[in-house]
Amino acid sequence: MNPAPGPKPAERAKPQIMPVKFTSLLLLSCACALPASAVNLMLDFGNPATNSVVADPYLTLSPAHSVGAIPGTQTSWNTITTSSDRTDLIYANGNSASTLTLDLGQESTGGNGTIDFGTGIGNLTLAGTGGGASGQQSLLGTGSIYGTNTSSTAATRDGFFGSGAATTTGAAIGMRLDGLAAGDYVAYVMARNTNTSTASYPMNIYSSVAGTSTSFAFSSLAAAVQANPGYTTAAYAGQFTSFVLGDNYQKINFTIAEGQSFFLAVDGGNDAIDRRGFLNMVQVVSVPEPSSLLLGALGLLCLRRRR
């Protein structure tokens, strides 16, 4: 007699195949959850006498790049060489910034505390010689944030400055940026007379957000001070080789609503030395909303789980 058949061995669970349609939807939803690339703007106030366009190896030599606020892959600078309105700007990623308009101006009378955007900036030819003299330290040199020498195309080297006599009638200068999308931003600003290095030439940087206007009254606002310390050779210990907040650049946080403009003004921080405003470069960096960061994290987790 044949023995009764025993129980069949347990069948191995078959792998569950996710339907193609559902998989596609999942990947699409994950991709949509990833935050879009930040919209960043970089302005180099250049010297039209030399038409210096930022180029290698200085494309990422900037405070925003140094702190990681702008990725090293975003290297498109706008070279500004006149006070005329600019409507042909590009973002740091190379895309058109056709919604933005840049307007520049200065005090119509030095010391009146109001930038007049109908008055062009008086001096567009700050060469950025480094200010070196015999026995003294130059801003320029190996590893310098201003570039290696006077052939440097770094955005940090040259710039614009106000008209008038340095200690008596010197004018502040400023800019107005229209068309930014509503949201949070950080402006990285470098403002220094880069033709001198041994004395400290501080700059007061004022900012505001408001409806567009042909002028910007800044004298009642609190200033962010850029100290711009100078050093003799004996006192120098590499201070010009790294970006230091408050010393050689400033960081300004601002929030803008739809239809508002961003205003910036710079004037000399010590009238006994120089009351004119100097401006080398400005970077405007968009700050992602916290919800976008959370969605991005969820999207990445979703893609990892799928893999």
Query: How do residues 255-275 score in pLDDT, each as one tens digit?
Result: 999 999 999 999 999 999 999
Supply φ then ψ for residue 146, to 5 degrees: -100, -5
In this predicted model, what pLDDT tens digit does every residue of 77-122 receive, in sequence order? 999 999 999 999 999 999 999 999 999 999 999 999 999 999 999 9
Q: Please, which pLDDT band fits residue 293 given cuts at 50, 70 and 90?
A: very low
Continuous H helices in the chain: 20-33, 63-66, 290-306
pLDDT at 227 over 90: yes
CA proximity to 91, closest of 36, 33, 152, 158: 36
286 neighbors 39 (Cβ within 8 angstroms):
yes
Provide the 3-class DSSP secondary structure of residue 215: strand
Mean pLDDT of the chain: 87
What is the spatial distance between Cα 276 and Cα 262, in angstroms, rounded to a whole number? Answer: 21
For the chain, give every domain's residue range: 45-305
Length of the chain: 307
pLDDT at 141 over 60: yes
Structure tokens of 125?
């030819």
Question: Considering Cα of 251, then 253, then 258, then 264, what sign does the dihedral take?
Answer: negative
Structure tokens of 120?
């062009």
What pLDDT does 27 receive?
40
37 neighbors 54 (Cβ within 8 angstroms):
no
Q: Please, which pLDDT band fits residue 302 given cuts at 50, 70 and 90?
A: very low
Structure tokens of 299?
């999207």
Q: Please, which pLDDT band fits residue 299 given cuts at 50, 70 and 90?
A: very low
pLDDT at 138 over 60: yes
pLDDT at 25 over 90: no
| pTM of the predicted model as reported, rounded to 2 decimal places | 0.84
Residue 64's CB is within 10 A of a number of other CB atoms, namely: 25
Residue 25's CB is within 10 A of a number of other CB atoms, namely: 11
Could you give the percent of the chain with pLDDT greater than 90?
75
Structure tokens of 99?
């919604």
- 158's CB contacts (< 8 A; 6+ apart) are 45, 46, 47, 50, 52, 126, 127, 128, 194, 280
Q: What is the DSSP letter of 270?
A: B
